[in-house]
Amino acid sequence: MARFTLDPNNLPQLSAAQIARVDALTDAELERLSGARRVREVRAHTGLSQANFAQTFHINVSRLRDLEQGRTQPDSAVLAYLAVIDKEPDAVRRALDAAD
């Protein structure tokens, strides 16, 4: 994956075909993409790779990949866990270390 800096004065434009694909998404597909985005955002906020995030927070790395790619949807427990990780990652680390 290549990284780039977004120029706010020169935003990329979607093609007509891309706009049509977005418009054709169902509510279920949009919800699945929203869940995937949330998982990626929380992991990005920690600054950890997928492998390190999975190991640190005791999540199966395959499950994390499936969540981030939208192949599976996060359930309410996963979303709650991610919310805690996002707000208090050190507290989660301490709790997990104490449990080991």
Tens digits of per-residue pLDDT, 27-74?
A: 878 877 788 899 999 999 999 999 999 999 999 999 999 999 989 989
Given this model, what pLDDT does residue 81 score?
A: 97
Between CA 13 and CA 20, with CA 14 as vertex, the angle to 5 degrees is 155
Cβ partners under 8 Å of residue 45, min gap 6: 86
Given this model, what pLDDT does residue 15 score?
A: 92
**CATH number of this structure's domain 24-99:** 1.10.260.40
Helices 61-68 and 27-46: crossing angle, nearest 10°?
A: 130
Q: Give the residue, 89 or 33, on which the prediction is more confident.
A: 89
Max distance between CA atoms of the chain, in angstroms, equals 54
- Asked if residue 94 has pLDDT above 70, the reply is yes
Q: pLDDT tier at 1 (50, 70, 90 boundaries)?
A: low
Our measurement of the distance from residue 100's CA atom to the centroid of its chain's CA atoms, rounded to an integer in Å, reads 26
